[in-house]
Chain A
Amino acid sequence: MSLQQLGRAWHITAKDIRTYYLKPPLISWGMLLPAVFILAFYLRAPGDIRSAAPGLIGLTVLFGATSVEAVVISFEKRIGGMERLLMAPVSVPALLAGKVASGMLFGVATGALVWLGSTLAWSLPLAAGLPLVAIALGSATFALLGVLISLVMREVFDAMTLSNLFRFPMMFLSGVFVPVAALPSALQVVAALLPLTYTVDALRHLLLGGAGASYPLWTDLLASLAFAAALYVAALELMRRRLEDLL
Chain B
Amino acid sequence: MCWEGRNAVLSSQGTTAPALAIEACALTRCYGALVAVDHLSLAVGRGEAFAFLGPNGAGKTTTIRMLTGLIRPSGGTALIDGLDIARDAMAAKARVGVVPQRSNLYGELSARDNLVFVAQLYGLPSRRWRARADELLDQFGLSEKAGVPFSTLSGGMKRRLTIAAALVHEPSILFLDEPTTGLDVLSARNLRALVGDLKGRGITIFLTTHLITEAEQLASRVGIIVKGRLIAVDTPAGLRARTHGEDVLEVTIPEPAEALLAALRGAATVRALSRAGDTLRLTVSTVDAGLRTLTEVTQRYGACIANVRTVAPSLEDAFVRLTQVDAEAMRNGPRSQGGDAP
A associates with B: yes
Chain A contacts to B: CB under 8 angstroms: 4, 7-8, 11-12, 15, 18-20, 79-81, 83-91, 244, 247
Kindly identify, within residues 289 to 342 of chain B, every residue whose CB is under 8 Å from any CB belonging to chain A: 341
How far does the alpha carbon of A5 sit from the alpha carbon of B77 in the complex, in Å?
26
Query: Given A7-B123, A15-B117, A81 and B104 touching (CB < 8 A)?
Result: yes
CB distance from B10 to the nearest CB of A (A): 30
Contact check: which of B100, B108, B109, B117 meets A11 at CB < 8 Å?
Answer: B117
Given the complex, which residues of A lie within 8 Å of B122, measured CB to CB? 88-89
CB distance from A138 to the nearest CB of B (A): 28
A-B contact count (CB 8 A): 65
CB atoms of B104 and A79 under 8 A apart: yes
- B120 touches A (CB below 8 Å): yes
Given the complex, which residues of A lie within 8 Å of B199, measured CB to CB? none
CB atoms of B71 and A89 under 8 A apart: no
Q: Which of A15, A19, A20, A89 has the most CB of B within 10 A?
A: A89
CB atoms of A11 and B69 under 8 A apart: no
Chain B contacts to A: CB under 8 angstroms: 65, 68-72, 89-91, 93-94, 98, 100, 102, 104-109, 113, 117-118, 120-123, 341
Contact check: which of B93, B106, B109, B123 meets A87 at CB < 8 Å?
Answer: B93
Residue pairs across A and B with Cβ atoms less than 8 A apart, 15 shown, are A11-B117, A11-B120, A12-B121, A15-B117, A81-B106, A83-B104, A84-B100, A84-B104, A87-B100, A88-B121, A88-B122, A89-B90, A89-B93, A244-B71, A244-B72
Known A-B contacts: A7-B123, A88-B122. Give 17 more (CB < 8 A): A7-B120, A8-B120, A8-B121, A11-B121, A18-B108, A80-B102, A84-B104, A85-B121, A86-B70, A87-B93, A87-B98, A88-B121, A89-B91, A89-B93, A89-B121, A90-B121, A247-B341
Given the complex, which residues of A lie within 8 Å of B68, measured CB to CB? 87
Question: Considering the complex of A and B, which 9 residue pairs feature the smallest CB-CB distances, nearest first?
Answer: A80-B104, A11-B120, A88-B121, A89-B93, A89-B90, A89-B94, A80-B102, A87-B98, A19-B108
For B104, the closest partner residue in chain A by CB is: A80
Given the complex, which residues of A lie within 8 Å of B117, measured CB to CB? 11, 15
How far does the alpha carbon of A15 sit from the alpha carbon of B70 in the complex, in Å?
21
Query: Given A19-B109, A89-B90, A83 and B100 touching (CB < 8 A)?
Result: yes
CB distance from B311 to the nearest CB of A (A): 41
CB atoms of A83 and B120 under 8 A apart: no
Contact residues of B: prevailing secondary structure = loop
CB atoms of A8 and B107 under 8 A apart: no
How far does the alpha carbon of A7 sit from the alpha carbon of B102 in the complex, in Å?
27
How far does the alpha carbon of A15 sit from the alpha carbon of B129 in the complex, in Å?
14
How far does the alpha carbon of A7 sit from the alpha carbon of B65 in the complex, in Å?
25
Query: Given A87-B100, A244-B71, A15 and B123 touching (CB < 8 A)?
Result: no
Contact check: which of B71, B89, B91, B106 meets A15 at CB < 8 Å?
Answer: B106
Given the complex, which residues of B lie within 8 Å of A11, measured CB to CB? 117, 120-121
CB atoms of B123 and A247 under 8 A apart: no
For B93, the closest partner residue in chain A by CB is: A89
How far does the alpha carbon of A91 sit from the alpha carbon of B65 in the complex, in Å?
17
For B151, the closest partner residue in chain A by CB is: A79
CB atoms of A84 and B123 under 8 A apart: no
Given the complex, which residues of A lie within 8 Å of B89, measured CB to CB? 89
CB distance from B171 to the nearest CB of A (A): 11
CB atoms of A247 and B107 under 8 A apart: no
CB distance from A207 to the nearest CB of B (A): 37
How far does the alpha carbon of A85 sit from the alpha carbon of B105 in the complex, in Å?
10
How far does the alpha carbon of A91 sit from the alpha carbon of B88 in the complex, in Å?
11
CB distance from B134 to the nearest CB of A (A): 19
For B106, the closest partner residue in chain A by CB is: A19
For A4, the closest partner residue in chain B by CB is: B123
CB distance from B208 to the nearest CB of A (A): 15
Given the complex, which residues of B lie within 8 Å of A12, measured CB to CB? 121
Given the complex, which residues of B lie within 8 Å of A18, measured CB to CB? 108-109, 113
CB atoms of B123 and A8 under 8 A apart: yes
Q: Which of B65, B105, B109, B123 has the most CB of A within 10 A?
A: B123
Query: Given A11-B120, A83-B70, A88 and B93 touching (CB < 8 A)?
Result: yes
